[in-house]
């Protein structure tokens, strides 16, 4: 197979695998459920059952959004505590602007492409070595 | 960021495998 088609098809397959795992594979649902449950338990622990915590959707990002009654101190502390939840990148109250965040799917695709590149570079190094051996000994 | 690995490591392994396969195909010595 020629060089560019082989790499392009591999990249497309990587992106397809990442998105299949993300949504039909249920990884995004598991991540969302675990994260929101952890924050729910924390909020209940701090006796704030009226405050709702939800990951930002459409597209899904790792930004946790809070909604509900809280005074100024509680509002800032909840934001701080929310950032401690594993997997959460940003926190914001509903209606307030949050820092721009990449969608979770885009983050996963970037990570998958990085892994693809590592694999391709490994194969390239092996191929280089083989060629060098042939150039020297053959 | 590290937490996502707990949910997505299988697909990252798959990506690594795809990378190796396409690398092998792409950088194979051209047949004469």
Q: Where are the alpha helices (DSSP H) in A1-138?
A: 3-22, 27-45, 72-83, 104-137
Residue to substitute from A27, A88, A124, interface B, most B β-carbons within 10 A? A27
B22/A131 CB distance under 8 A: no
Q: Any idea which fold A3-137 has?
A: 3.30.1340
A87/B3 CB distance under 8 A: yes
A-B C-beta contacts closer than 8 Å: 120
Q: What is the pLDDT of residues A67-119, one digit of tens each?
A: 999 999 999 999 999 999 999 999 999 999 988 899 999 999 999 999 999 99
Q: B32 CB near a chain A CB, below 8 Å?
A: no
| Least confident segment among A46-50, A88-92, A114-118, A129-133 | A129-133
As to burial, measured by CB atoms within 10 angstroms (0-12 exposed, 13-18 middle, 19+ buried), residue B19 is buried
Q: What is the pLDDT of residues A5-29, one digit of tens each?
A: 999 999 999 999 999 999 999 999 9
B15/A113 CB distance under 8 A: yes
pLDDT grade for A2, boundaries at 50, 70 and 90: confident
Nearest-CA distance from A33 to chain B in Å? Answer: 12
Taking the mean position of all CA atoms in its chain, how far away is CA A122? 25
Nearest CA in chain A to B11: A18
Residues A32-36, mean pLDDT to the nearest whole number: 96
Q: Would you tell me how many other CB atoms lie within 10 Å of the CB of residue A7?
A: 20
Does the interface predicted TM-score (ipTM) exceed 0.85?
A: yes
**Res A138: pLDDT:** 73
Dig out the tokens for A9 from the structure. Answer: 């098809």
Nearest-CA distance from B7 to chain A in Å? Answer: 6
Domain boundaries, chain A: 3-137
């Amino acid at each position: 197979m020629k060089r560019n088609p082989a790499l392009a098809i591999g990249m497309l397959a990587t992106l397809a695998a990442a998105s299949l795992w993300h949504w039909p594979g249920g990884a995004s649902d598991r991540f969302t459920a675990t994260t929101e449950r952890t924050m729910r338990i924390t909020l209940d622990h701090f006796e704030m059952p009226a405050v709702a915590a939800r990951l930002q959707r459409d597209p899904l990002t790792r930004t946790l959004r809070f909604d509900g009654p809280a005074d100024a101190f509680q509002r800032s502390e909840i934001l701080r505590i929310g950032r401690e939840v594993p997997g959460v990148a940003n926190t914001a109250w509903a209606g307030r602007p949050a820092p721009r965040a990449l969608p979770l799917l885009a983050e996963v695709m970037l990570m998958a492409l990085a892994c693809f590149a590592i694999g391709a570079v490994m194969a390239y190094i092996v191929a280089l070595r083989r060629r060098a051996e042939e150039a020297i000994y053959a | 960021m590290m937490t996502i690995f707990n949910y997505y490591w299988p697909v990252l392994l798959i990506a690594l495998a795809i990378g190796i396969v396409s690398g092998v195909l792409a950088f194979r010595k051209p047949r004469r």
